[in-house]
Amino acid sequence: MTTEQSPTLDNLLTESRSFPPSPEFAAAANATADWYTEADADREAFWAKQAERLHWDTKWTQVLDWSNAPFAKWFVGGKLNVAYNCVDRHVEAGHGDQVAIHWVGEPGDTRDITYAQLKDEVSKAANGLLSLGVTAGDRVAIQLQMIPEAIVSMLACARIGALHSVVFGGFSPSALRQRVDDADAKVVITSDGQYRRGKAAPMKANVDEALDGAQSVEKVIVVRRTGDDLEGDVPWSDGRDIWWHELIDAQSADHKPEAFDSEHPLYILYTSGTTGKPKGILHTSGGYLTQAAYTHNAVFDHKPGQDVYWCTADIGWVTGHSYIVYGPLANRATQVVYEGTPNTPHEGRHWEIIQKYKVSIYYTAPTLIRTFMKWGAEIPAKYDLSSLRLLGSVGEPINPEAWMWFRENIGGGNCPIVDTWWQTETGAIMISPLPGVTHAKPGSAQRPLPGVSAKVVDDTATEVGNGGGGYLVLDKPWPSMLRGIWGDDERFKDTYWSRFAEQGFYFAGDGAKYDNDGDIWLLGRVDDVMNVSGHRISTTEVESALVSHPTVAEAAVVGASDPTTGQGIVAFVILRGDAAKAGDEAIQELRNHVAKEIGPIAKPRQIMVVPELPKTRSGKIMRRLLRDVAENREVGDVTTLADSTVMDQISKGLSSGS
Ligand code: WT7
């Protein structure tokens, strides 16, 4: 299987640096080394102890029910309200005046929201949703940029037991529609427009396009952000659309949270799989919040009332769910939430924000770190970053060079770095160094957290030895694991549990290896899923978008390694008849077409027009060979091709400049 791995990852094999925590950090760390032994001795007792971090209205009677595997039940019989745990209980404990959110708008406007204010906002929004007839179990779709109302909306849903389905703001109308229909969302929450790189872009107009004829949607709540209506040009559908400030501001701030079953669904979040149809990953309440809170405390060494925490993810991804909303708020964090892009209005924006709010914990993605590297170390050097004491990375393997740059130029050479491996499906961090305990290695996520079990196995499900590579599996259930794919139990079993069905392992879809110390190094996806700037995009989804264009006869898409984005999307297309002589303009149009169909994040970096595609005798496209072309490598073994001359035809066509 290693032949499928990108060769740029080979440099991981020679990385041997290791950085122990400073004695001061270790002495004050939340986590200790004995957590590993404690959890190994009695996993369920360990998780039960972690669940005590939360307020339960009714205590559970059983920690784990795995009798109907792979459908897990955690903290069976327990009842809790997730929003109460994230907001009210901190106010009741006397921390109402603590800032929960330092919000920074892209144009420079700011808002500080205390826990007491957050409680009022969430209660009002909960009452507002109830007034529209939303009840427990209903689905609410949310397409919002990074504004406080996004967080308030999610918590308001949780408070009344409705499931939110957050759709990333950059997704196209058809992507939104697909998700709204799949979940039968009753209400959609959005905004008039959003600021992007200094300009206001419409949002509501896209939502209207998406919802044209949508059967399930009764109401659309619109947050006023850019003030498009004041210009008189926000499209409006009377009877369906309602302004947030008219609906929510008028509500009472009194709302009594109801305790829901530990397994009550909390949210659906769609993610790309190997087919064109996104999967609605389902998460539930008690186990999810337990692991989100535990990992936020242990992995980020978070100290409530002292730290200022900043996770740079967008609320549209799982990182935003678990490490902006649920984990940090359950742990009474004070956090920064930033609306805009990192280079608006200048490339020092993040460092300026860290300096201003004295951010102590900063959690970001390798693609952004590499972008900062490109912009130059002299930019962060102009700011006082001495408040930072811990750095985190997520989304894709971090190359040792970026890790070292992060450590030296942002962390001042003395902050532990946690490289956290997890997925939308796992709900929370699974593999990561423990700060204060682990001797960190640049580029390795290292060990499963206490309470978590992961292994690297070969095709026969046998664990490989030190130095060996294979597939990453999770061999024991964990509290924040997905409970299924919305409306599709078969696909759930098929996708994750069929590959190693006999052993009952969860198949993560990632390649990994052990080094000589038994530490885990993640090597990227082993399926047809690309990772572009930490975003998961399926090759099939992009291929379907391409062939939906009238000029395209056939398309094959691969993720080619990219110095900034990790992988870049490279498409090979066969054009129809006359279109085959297409010039640059036609290629541009195809790129834009994909952006329009899925969203700008899916726009191919490069499109190559080819006469044929390499296929096996059974008709499967051999992406491995196309990846060789896309990465300018000598083309590998072609013996399994139905027509072995295809690769020659492709190379010849490309070198002659088409
Ligand atoms: C896939 C999950 C988890 C939140 C962000 C992405 C890759 C994620 C790492 C890491 C190596 C990583 C994997 C995984 N991935 N974190 N620290 N090292 N790879 O969530 O969209 O569900 O994607 O991202 O390939 O399977 P996601």
The answer to whether 420 is a known ligand-binding residue is: yes
ipTM of the complex: 0.99
The answer to whether 343 is a known ligand-binding residue is: yes
Structure-model confidence comparison of residues 455 and 654, the more confident one = 455
pLDDT at residue 373 greater than cutoff 50: yes
pLDDT bracket for residue 12 (50, 70, 90): low
Residues 382-395 have pLDDT tens digits of 999 999 999 999 99
**Closest ligand 1 atom, residue 424 Cα:** 22
Bridging pattern class, strands 193-196 and 520-525: unpaired
Question: 510 C-alpha to center of ligand 1: Å?
Answer: 9
Coil, strand, or helix at residue 150? helix
Question: 290 C-alpha to center of ligand 1: Å?
Answer: 20
CA distance to 528, 561, 562, 612, 615, per residue, from 625 (Å): 14, 14, 17, 13, 10
Question: 421 C-alpha to center of ligand 1: Å?
Answer: 6
- Residue 638 has phi, psi (to 5 degrees) of -110, 10
Question: 534 C-alpha to center of ligand 1: Å?
Answer: 7
**CA pair distance 394, 308, nearest whole angstrom:** 19
pLDDT at residue 399 greater than cutoff 70: yes
Bridge partners, residue 362, by sequence: 310, 391
Is the minimum distance from the CB of 420 to ligand 1 under 6 angstroms? yes
Mean pLDDT of 359-375: 96
Is the minimum distance from the CB of 423 to ligand 1 under 6 angstroms? yes
**CA pair distance 308, 291, nearest whole angstrom:** 21
Residues 431-450 have pLDDT tens digits of 999 999 999 999 999 999 99
pLDDT at residue 7 greater than cutoff 60: no
Cis peptide before 70 (omega within 30 of 0): yes
Mean pLDDT of 515-524: 94
Least confident of 151-155, 223-227, 274-278, 361-365: 274-278
Domains and CATH numbers, the chain: 23-510 (3.40.50.12780), 533-656 (3.30.300.30)
pLDDT at residue 3 greater than cutoff 60: no
256 contact partners, CB below 8 Å, separation of at least 6: none
pLDDT bracket for residue 126 (50, 70, 90): very high
Residues 139-182 have pLDDT tens digits of 999 999 999 999 999 999 999 999 999 999 999 999 999 999 99
pLDDT at 392: 98
pLDDT at residue 5 greater than cutoff 50: no
- Residue 20 has phi, psi (to 5 degrees) of -70, 155
**CA pair distance 552, 124, nearest whole angstrom:** 50
Is the minimum distance from the CB of 207 to ligand 1 under 6 angstroms? no
Q: pTM here?
A: 0.93
- What would the DSSP string read from start to end of 336-356? EEE-S-TTSS-TTHHHHHHHH
**CA pair distance 411, 393, nearest whole angstrom:** 13
CB 125 within 8 A of CB 132: no
**Residue identifier of the C-alpha nearest atom 27 of ligand 1:** 423
pLDDT at 580: 64
Indicate the top mutation candidate among 394, 425, 473, 601 to test ligand 1's pocket, ranked by most ligand atoms within 8 A of CB: 394
Q: What angle do CA 76, 81, 86 make, to 5 degrees?
A: 120
The answer to whether 407 is a known ligand-binding residue is: no
CB 522 within 8 A of CB 445: yes
The answer to whether 66 is a known ligand-binding residue is: no
Question: 397 C-alpha to center of ligand 1: Å?
Answer: 8
CB 178 within 8 A of CB 278: yes
pLDDT at 527: 86
pLDDT bracket for residue 621 (50, 70, 90): confident
Residue 624, judged by CB atoms within 10 A of its CB (0-12, 13-18, 19+), counts as middle
pLDDT at 602: 95
**CA pair distance 368, 566, nearest whole angstrom:** 10
**CA pair distance 397, 524, nearest whole angstrom:** 7
Least confident of 242-246, 275-279, 442-446: 275-279
CB 150 within 8 A of CB 133: no
Indicate the top mutation candidate among 536, 565, 601 to test ligand 1's pocket, ranked by most ligand atoms within 8 A of CB: 536
The answer to whether 422 is a known ligand-binding residue is: yes
pLDDT averaged over every residue in the chain: 94
pLDDT at 658: 40
Give the H or E element holding residue 154.
helix 148-160
Least confident of 238-252, 411-425, 428-442, 533-547: 533-547
pLDDT at 8: 42
Q: Which of 439, 420, 450 is nearest to 38 (CA)?
A: 450
**Residue identifier of the C-alpha nearest atom 7 of ligand 1:** 396
**CA pair distance 239, 241, nearest whole angstrom:** 6
**Closest ligand 1 atom, residue 429 Cα:** 3
Is the minimum distance from the CB of 422 to ligand 1 under 6 angstroms? yes
**Residue identifier of the C-alpha nearest atom 13 of ligand 1:** 396
CB 185 within 8 A of CB 270: no
Looking up tokens 């000589």 gives: 516
Question: 319 C-alpha to center of ligand 1: Å?
Answer: 10
The answer to whether 421 is a known ligand-binding residue is: yes
Is the minimum distance from the CB of 269 to ligand 1 under 6 angstroms? no
The answer to whether 525 is a known ligand-binding residue is: yes
pLDDT at 618: 77
**Closest ligand 1 atom, residue 529 Cα:** 25
